[in-house]
Amino acid sequence: MTTSNATHDPQLRSWVASANQAGCDFPIQNLPFGRFRPAGSAEAFRIGVAIGDQVLDLKATGLIHTDDMNVLMAKAPAERQALRAAISAGLTEGSAEAGEWAKLLLAQSAVEMTVPCRIGDYTDFYTSVHHATTIGKQFRPDNPLLPNYKWVPIGYHGRSSSIGVSGSSFKRPRGQTKAPDAEVPSLGPSKRLDYELELGWFIGQGNAQGDAIDMDRAESHLFGVALFNDWSARDIQGWEYQPLGPFLSKNFASTLSPWMVTMEALAPFRAPFERASGDPQPLPYLDSSANRAQGALSITLEVLLQTAKMREAGEAPVRLSGTNTTRAAYWTPAQLVAHHTVNGCNLQPGDLLGSGTLSGPNADEAGSLMELTGNGKQPVVLPNGERRSFLEDGDTLILRGWCEREGAVRIGLGEVSGTVEAAG
């Protein structure tokens, strides 16, 4: 596991002034990667590093020789750490590179971002026991938490082709639903559209088919993390999900934040992996001393909503809920990698592992409207008087995330937003 080093020094300051402002998501201690191009251009997307409110064109610095993010992600951890150190040194106040690199900066407000890398395969996990229990009560009131949950990191294979970047909009999905009092199902737009507060973990180096990744190596195969909203049509989900799980209720759209915060940047925000008293301990292939000591990561998350009416009135988004991964996640990122490959499955650079909805133990920590509103029975009342049981056309949903602790500089994951359009 990556440990703190000189690049995390709280005393480091950048010659990019905006990176030194209190509360900045992208100080010099962060240095996340993304793909950008000048707004309004037809240029190819290239690799950038966020610093303050700017983007540094990484290839133009000469530190890398590719515009292919997946190639960069496939490099060995030692090479990635050396690159981080070189970027940090060049952006540090008083560096010899400051004069030349200043010419390679573009304002984030002047660029167009795309998904951070080519996503070959996407697996969505189910790592919050609180979410699993609450949702289980809605779909299976007699047996909400299935017996395998606390033994197996549950996941299903999603669809990467419908993953978009922050700021995207999507049409309300259509599909089969069946009302409790209906004799037969019907086809139409979803009436119970929901969001899911998630993190997306990106694979760096892959593994050969048949080569399981053990816990001692698992984190070395992770490149970084982004905010992730896996939109869900709950009424379609309720009709289709048994016996094989979600299908059309999930694959119509998912939205990612544009910046990948690296595992190296997250080093100061590690936490012990602990199980509640009475819960089973992981099987040996999902256990290691390092994972127990610091396999969890402390990331604060929040959900905000802006309706079309609020937007027209110039009103800011309102906070719906928030939690922290140490309260919400039942499995660590390393355990997801180890379980995904224990059967010999081969992961590839750019593969995405969704955390599943991250909900904490309290009602105000719900990571979805289905939980927050009791399956729509207790609508959220917004400050302007509007009510929401599920998302309506024109709604913009925003996820934000950051890491902070005493003795370390706060770093952010930025935000991911998406807007619901009327069904096509």
| Cα Rg, the chain, nearest whole Å | 21
Q: Of the residues 8, 65, 130, 131, which is catalytic?
A: 131
**Residue 239 C-beta-side C-alpha neighbours within 13 Å:** 19
Alpha-carbon distance values, 270 to 218, 315, 326, 372 (Å): 16, 36, 10, 28
Active site residue 340: no
Question: Do 113 and 36 touch, CB atoms closer than 8 A?
Answer: yes
Residue ranges of alpha helices (H) inside 110-152 are 129-139
Question: Do 73 and 204 touch, CB atoms closer than 8 A?
Answer: yes
DSSP three-state, residue 29: coil
Which residues are registered as beta bridge partners of 163?
A: 254
| Cα end-to-end span (Å), the chain | 47
**H/E run at residue 50:** strand 46-51
Cα-Cα-Cα-Cα torsion 307, 318, 325, 108, nearest 10 degrees, comes to 80
Closest CA to 198 of 361, 305, 328: 328
Q: Which two tokens stand for residue 168?
A: 């995207």
Question: Do 337 and 218 touch, CB atoms closer than 8 A?
Answer: yes
Backbone φ and ψ of 112, nearest 5°: -105, 130
Q: What SS3 string covers 376-407?
A: CCCCEECCCCCEECCCCCCCEEEEEEEECCCC
Q: Which two tokens stand for residue 183?
A: 């004799």
Closest CA to 360 of 336, 320, 324, 392: 324
Residues with catalytic roles: 131
